[in-house]
Amino acid sequence: MTSSASLPPGPPSDGDGYLARLNPEQRAAIETTEGPLLVLAGAGTGKTRVLTTRFAHILLTERARPWQILAVTFTNKAASEMRERVSALLGQAAEGHWLGTFHALCARMLRRHAEHAGLTSSFSILDTDDQLRLLKQVMQPWNVDLKRWPAPGLLGVIQRWKDRGLTPERITPADDTDFADGKARQIYQAYQARLLELNACDFGDLMLHVTEILRNRPDVLEQYHRSFRYILVDEYQDTNTIQYLWLRLLARRTDGPANICCVGDDDQSIYSWRGAEVENILRFEKDFPGAKIVRLERNYRSTAQILGAAAGLIAHNDSRLGKTLRPGHDDAQGGPVEINGVGDSEIEARSVCDEIDALRRSGHKLGEVAILVRAGFQTRAFEERMVQTGIPYRIVGGLRFYERSEIRDALAYMRVMVQPSDDLAFERIVNVPRRGVGPAALQKIRAESRNLMTGLAGATEAMLASGALRGKMADQLSELMGAFAKGRATLAQEGHVVAVNTLLEDAGYLAMWKLDTSPEAPGRLENLKELVRALADFGTLREFLDHVALVMENEGNDEGGRVSVMTLHGAKGLEFDTVFLPGWEEGVFPSQRTLDEGGLKGLEEERRLAYVGLTRARYRAVIFHADRRRIFANWQDALPSRFIEEIPDEYAVRKNQSPRRIPQEDYSGFFSDSVFSAPRRTSAPPRTASRSNVVSFSTVRRTREQENAPEIGSRVRHAKFGEGIVVSADSGAAEVAFDSGDTRRVIPSFLEKL
């Protein structure tokens, strides 16, 4: 690991002032070059500036050569930005550096040491489609039911094992799962063997192979210890287990101090659902004895009121290292956080969009306005309102509601149900979920369609009747055509909402997403619930489909920019002058699912998510909560989020706040065992019940729990966690000791009694 590249010119003159422009805390983070250092960089405190300036400072002061610094980021965009900033500080291109994402750096290392992993340096890196195709081939000898245990789900299990640094040999009974009838570990082992035969690896292997090499080959590890004098890590709070292990191996050395600098914010650790471990940053001092902590607390983004509100909120978390943000600039333009109570969720959408329209008329740039929601399904109401009022918008980090794949699939099912000759819709869903209808089979159906002069659906029915289609594919297509027939009958007898419920259930589409273990699957199910909820606003299914077509046609006007609509998770790292935060109610935010499955740890992550939302705003943050929210076509009373009460009064102005009321309904129906149940059509929110008529919240919950709670000691199955035994059941949650070794609190309606 040598290079002919030379150091950049010596330290700049005082006139350059690259350190003089920093505040004292930033400067301390840059000039503390020796030994382990944790930089706790709060929101808007200049984290990227510190990281890039530290990189350049090490080179400019000749403490290391370019190739002796390992700088790690999470995204290619962050790596590119760091490279550009370092180049600007150095006055020349940043060449010869080990600067990149975790996976890019590990790919570079693995090319050098591929033989230690059983590969050659010319190994291929498979994309997701290739991984799935290979995994299906490997699964065949085990005769796994792909309908019950789909390959994408098993691939998700394998990737999570890899993210935890678990090779097949390292999987203990506590780590194992009953996915694929308990054969997941063996299939994983066969999958890895097949990858080696192909001289290939998947994305997760890049880090897993390199970490195993560093674990098992002291000579290779020593080589990197000699090469890397300094290690810089961005967003350390988002590291998962394998990333943590890789960094710790490279940083811990016997010939001197661990010169590792990790920059992050424990208060912004919000990605546990994709493997991030906040404990990695919390135990930094234990991992690296003698570590120094520098806190960056001068926020150059938000007003004092917004920072005070965020600080008061996050202070309720126990698992944090602690810091207090304070403004680093004049915040005269800003006011306190606004907390607005509204009657219902439709008024909420109307109120937010009316305020945005008023901002537009006053000259406020729409590109500096954001609506941040907890869950993707919430965006639909705002999207439709903005279409009606002509407010241009964009969905950041995702598609508009009706453009999402699961929504387009469901719409295609609806279109075929009302118009069997809609061939475009039929082609979209005939093999979703997979029914064995490949290109050759579809071509035969097209030919029969032309021969009979009918649509593809009609041709399929004719081929099934004549026996032209056979085997498992024929059985599954028969089920599909039966689902359409039943849906049409239900449409005539019980209405379009129930008909769509029935169709999506009977066609296996909902089951496909229930069994999918990817992080996106729960959000897709929530979107499907919201889609069916939207059906209740229309008299017929045809009216609804026409409405969707018109909504999709309206792109809005780009003049003055667009309002950004996104989830709170997608907003991290962004900032806007004005931020609207709707849906701050118990069960929505904090998410009931997160509370039930994550307990106190889940609650603290939800609170960190609220902190992230508030600190996206420069000058104005507006929170909304509704007394009633329509959830899956039913109006349900809602409690204001506990996070609202945790915001100190001196930093907030509260409007239309009513006393915390006991709701008539809890959220159990929102997370029912069957994703959809037959809803009742309602066109307006119910009248407010008098206090004497309000049913006790706890009484309602107790009654439902007594009806639905599994018996203690009974054996149950959870779609995500597998089989286990119920050890306790209370407060609307069941505690289950799963066969995997984990004990979790889960929603009883998610459990199937065995």
Instruction: Report DSSP letters for 698-720, one per residue.
Output: HHHHHHHHHHHPPPTT-EEEETT
Q: What are the backbone angles phi and psi of residue 473, rounded to the nearest 5°?
A: -60, -45
H helices within 63-202, ranges in order? 76-90, 102-112, 128-139, 151-163, 184-197
What is the pTM for the complete model shown? 0.70
Distance CA 726, CA 716 (A): 7
Distance CA 538, CA 541 (A): 7
| Rg of the chain, C-alpha, whole Å | 28
Annotated catalytic sites, by residue? 47-48, 234-235, 268, 616
Query: All domains of the chain, ordered by start, with CATH?
Result: 24-110+208-296 (3.40.50.300), 128-198 (1.10.10.160), 305-392+562-657 (3.40.50.300), 403-543 (1.10.486.10), 701-753 (2.30.30.140)
Contacts 24+ apart (CB under 8 A), 414-417: 414/500, 414/503, 414/541, 414/544, 414/545, 415/545, 416/457, 416/484, 417/484, 417/487, 417/488, 417/491, 417/499, 417/500, 417/503, 417/541
- Position of tokens 């904090």? 590
Query: SS in 3 state form for 570-638?
Result: HHCCCCEEEEEECCCECECCCEHHHHHHHHHHHHHHHHHHHHHHHCCEEEEEEEEEEEEEEECCEEEEC
Q: Which is nearest to 529 in space by CA: 418, 412, 406? A: 406
Distance CA 179, CA 662 (A): 40
Give the tokens for residue 261: 């600098």
Q: Which is nearest to 346 in space by CA: 670, 683, 681, 662? A: 683
- Residue 624 contacts residue 347 (beta carbons within 8 Å): no
pLDDT score of 563 = 94
Give the tokens for residue 160: 């999570």
> Alpha carbon of 612 to those of 328, 372, 572, 624: distances in Å?
18, 10, 7, 16
Q: Which is nearest to 565 in space by CA: 753, 423, 369, 720? A: 369
Q: Provide the 8-state DSSP code for 396.
A: T
Distance CA 342, CA 723 (A): 43
Mean pLDDT by 10 residues, the chain (754 residues): 40 57 92 94 90 91 90 86 83 76 92 95 87 91 85 91 95 90 94 94 94 96 94 94 96 85 94 88 93 94 94 94 84 81 93 95 94 89 84 80 88 91 89 89 90 89 88 90 92 89 91 83 85 83 80 52 92 93 95 89 95 96 93 77 95 78 35 36 35 30 44 71 70 66 65 73
Q: Which is nearest to 328 in space by CA: 612, 51, 41? A: 41
pLDDT score of 745 = 66
Distance CA 377, CA 629 (A): 13
pLDDT score of 693 = 30
Helix axes 151-163, 128-139, angle to 10 degrees: 110
Other beta carbons within 10 angstroms of residue 189's beta carbon come to 15
Q: What is the pLDDT of residues 550-580, one digit of tens each?
A: 666 555 445 458 899 999 998 988 999 999 9
Q: Which is nearest to 314 in space by CA: 39, 612, 62, 104? A: 612
Q: What is the pLDDT of residues 323-348, one digit of tens each?
A: 888 888 765 567 899 999 999 999 99
> Alpha carbon of 322 to those of 267, 288, 297, 573, 749: distances in Å?
8, 19, 10, 20, 38
What is the bridge-based pairing of β-strands 230-233 and 69-73? Answer: parallel
Give the tokens for residue 570: 């997608």
* Sequence-distant (≥ 6) Cβ neighbours of residue 101 within 8 angstroms: 72, 73, 74, 75, 76, 78, 79
Distance CA 44, CA 612 (A): 11
Q: What are the backbone angles phi and psi of residue 578, rounded to the nearest 5°?
A: -125, 130
Structural element, H or E, at residue 348: helix 345-361
Q: Is 299 helix (H, G, I), strand (E, B) or coil?
A: strand
Q: What are the backbone angles phi and psi of residue 727, rounded to the nearest 5°?
A: -105, -20
